[in-house]
Structure 1
Amino acid sequence: MHHRHTLAAVAAGILLTAGIGATVPAGAAGAPAPRSSAPATALVVDARWGGHTAFDRLVIDVRGKLPPVTVHQVRSLHYDASGKKVPLPGKYFLEIRLSPAAAHDAAGRSVYHGPRLVRIPLPALKGVALTGDFEGVVTVGAAFDTKPEFKTLRLHAPERFVVDIAHPVGCRS
């Protein structure tokens, strides 16, 4: 009887080991992990802007692979974790969400060197704020006096997300 239990335990161990081994990708067993200079999670490191003849440009710089980004017009901007209203002037706002992304490293130190909250005297863009770095989502808010007409670009080498905002009709730069 003891021999059957031992045989059953050995058989279960072999099956379990075979099942676990089947889940390891081919070539991964015993091979060192490939080294990469890009972080596993995209890191948002800066936000900058500039005025051009017919548009203002907001650029969000990312270290690592540029993650999916959404841009939505919202009624007001709020800080993600607290829900407090962001004190930027303007009547119209865009919320730019990068996810998965972070503005801090694995030790919790900020890697973001851009503005936390700044007023901007451009024809279209009136302010920018880092509104969130919470649970794998980084949000940046932008403020405008007139309803923004914008287009977005994903640029690489270096990785960055761009929002071009047309100047209001009748605006002279």
Structure 2
Amino acid sequence: MNRPRRRQATALGAGALLAATLAFAAPASAATASASAPTASASATPLVVNARWGGHCTYDRVVVDLQGYVPAVTVTPVAHLVYDGSGKPVPLAGRYFLEIRLHPAAGHDEAGHNVYLGPKLLRTYLPKLKGIALTGDYEGYVTFGAAFDTQPAYTSSTLHSPERFVLDIAHPNVC
């Protein structure tokens, strides 16, 4: 075989080998990505867009509305409520408090525009819930505080379509 043909054959062989390698690698990586990664819409940080409340015969309810998915949520009894970052006290009257923390989550979009439309600080006059406040939206955490006059007994759940986190606080029947 002469030199030009040898170079051409070598180039064709290398190209075929590269194409075969890419053909085998693409399906494997695609399968791995689809099996282990969330969908594009689920991988974006969920946005906290509202918080609302309601009184029922045997419980008060706090609902946090989200766009995207419901992230991990922790509900923790705390001695007092403070604003994230500043540490300043939240001006809600009560003797017992719950901190509701969502992560990952944001109350603002990627451009920094506020998407949270709910109350920042609200006093309520429900049988158990006495107030709610947005206490933080910082570095992937959105935090709320809830105030009570008496020790709260609560349960939490996640609801879908639309996405929301629900906190139910039990009280004696008032109906």
Fold similarity call, TM over 0.5: yes
- State the Cα RMSD in Å: 2.8
Asked if 1:172 is matched to 2:174, the reply is: yes
The alpha-carbon deviation at position 65 of structure 1 amounts to 1.0
Q: How is 1:9-28 mapped onto 2 (pairs within 5 angstroms)?
A: 25-26=29-30
- Partner-residue secondary structure (3-state), 1:78: coil
The 1:63/1:39 distance shift into structure 2, 3 A limit, reads: farther
1:92 is aligned, of 92, 96, 108, to 96
1:95-123 deviation per Cα after TM superposition (whole angstroms, max 9, x unaligned): 00000000000111110000000000000
Asked if 1:73 is matched to 2:86, the reply is: no
- Structure 2: distance between partners of 1:172 and 1:46: 27
Partner of 1:3: none
1:148 is aligned, of 146, 152, 167, to 152
The alpha-carbon deviation at position 81 of structure 1 amounts to 1.2
Partner of 2:5: none
Asked if 1:111 is matched to 2:120, the reply is: no
1:45 is aligned, of 49, 55, 70, to 49
Unaligned stretches of 5+ in structure 2?
Answer: 1-20, 32-38
Structure that is richer in helix per residue = 2
Asked if 1:83 is matched to 2:87, the reply is: yes
- Structure 1: distance between partners of 2:43 and 2:121: 26
Partner of 1:54: 58
- Structure 2: distance between partners of 1:57 and 1:111: 22
1:133-153 deviation per Cα after TM superposition (whole angstroms, max 9, x unaligned): 001000011000000000001
The alpha-carbon deviation at position 39 of structure 1 amounts to 7.2
The alpha-carbon deviation at position 25 of structure 1 amounts to 3.3
Unaligned stretches of 5+ in structure 1?
Answer: 1-17, 28-34
Asked if the contact 1:38/1:63 (under 8 Å) is kept, the reply is no
- Structure 1: distance between partners of 2:157 and 2:54: 15
The alpha-carbon deviation at position 47 of structure 1 amounts to 0.3
Output the TM-score relative to the length of structure 1.
0.78
Q: How many residues align?
A: 149
Asked if the contact 1:38/1:65 (under 8 Å) is kept, the reply is yes
Partner of 2:142: 138
- Partner-residue secondary structure (3-state), 1:101: coil
- Structure 1: distance between partners of 2:29 and 2:83: 41
User: In terms of Rg, which structure is larger?
Assistant: 2
- Partner-residue secondary structure (3-state), 2:70: coil
- Partner-residue secondary structure (3-state), 1:26: helix
Q: Which amino acid aligns with 2:99?
A: E
Asked if the contact 1:72/1:95 (under 8 Å) is kept, the reply is yes
The alpha-carbon deviation at position 172 of structure 1 amounts to 3.3
Overall identity of the aligned pairs, in %: 60
- Structure 1: distance between partners of 2:43 and 2:54: 28
